[in-house]
Amino acid sequence: MTSTRSGLRVLAVDDVPAALADLCQLLRDDEHVADVASAADPLGALKTLQSERFDAVFLDISMPGLDGLELASLLAKLSEPPVIVFVTAYDGHALTAYGIGAVDYLLKPVRAERLAAALAKVVKMLPASAPDAAGPDAMAVLPVESAGRTQYVRRSDVQYVEAQGDYVKLYTRDGVHTVRMPISRLEEYWEGTGFVRTHRGFLVAIDAVTELRSDSVGGLLAHTELGDVPVSRRHARELRERLLHAARNSELSRQERRG
């Protein structure tokens, strides 16, 4: 499928033909969307997703065979999973849906303005809204979805990041926030903003590191106010160099202020 204009590529999945047609039309009418494909059942959706890449999948929940929640769980295991939005007539599955990692949960009949709000959340979760397309500060704030609410976590508040499968945990003074995003993708976004990879499963903010220390078996740890971050041999040299560079810049800044 070839886009006729810049925007999202979306797959809509619903086993009720009239509902599927209405959803597809609403999606095509939205300015965020470039292309819309459809599938009448989860197995058809899986086949489509095996041959094409989509930015987002809008899923009904109650479908024969594999239901929407089960399909979403399978999609979450993909190396580059699409963003999931559920579209359903029932409100009883919302907690499960958000637990799987859905960014929104729409109740039928879907209103255009409600769909637009969901698509705006999808856009925020995609690389197209980040480094190259929207400038270096596009990911200075990350939306965090939890139990139907959206919080916004500032990059400047994050001391370190821990990988958890296709998710990352952001450690801040006011708590730990989970975002559906592979750590490799977040590293791309935050490269050059004061974060450095210390381990295959960790990123740390250089400004948050107060000292380097050894653990009980001789490994290296970067100590922060919120905890110790493991440092692998592969990343130790770069971390030391970045810390030294940051310390020198800080000293120069103090000298300039005194002068």
Determine the topology of domain 137-258 in CATH.
OB fold (Dihydrolipoamide Acetyltransferase, E2P) (2.40.50)
Q: What is the pLDDT of residues 190-211, one digit of tens each?
A: 877 899 999 999 999 999 999 9
Q: What is the pLDDT of residues 63-101, one digit of tens each?
A: 877 788 888 888 887 778 899 999 998 878 777 777 878
**pLDDT on residue 129:** 44
Tokens of 52: 């094409």
SS (H, E, C) 123-158: HHCCHHHCHHHHCCCCCCEEEEEECCEEEEEEHHHE
**Which residues make up the CATH 3.40.50.2300 domain(s) of the chain?**
8-129
**pLDDT on residue 144:** 82
* Integer Cα distance of 28 and 71 in angstroms: 23
Tokens of 250: 């800080």
Tokens of 17: 């033909």
Can you tell me whether residue 234 is helix, strand or coil? Answer: helix
* Integer Cα distance of 36 and 121 in angstroms: 17
Least confident residue range of 92-101, 174-183, 218-227:
92-101
Range 127-147 average pLDDT? 58
**pLDDT on residue 3:** 37
170-175 contacts, C-beta under 8 A, 24 or more apart: 170/142, 170/144, 171/224, 171/226, 171/227, 172/226, 173/225, 173/226
**Which residues make up the CATH 2.40.50.1020 domain(s) of the chain?**
137-258
Tokens of 178: 């989970």
Range 8-17 average pLDDT? 94
Least confident residue range of 26-40, 50-64, 132-146:
132-146
Q: What is the pTM of this model?
A: 0.49
**CATH classification code of 8-129:** 3.40.50.2300
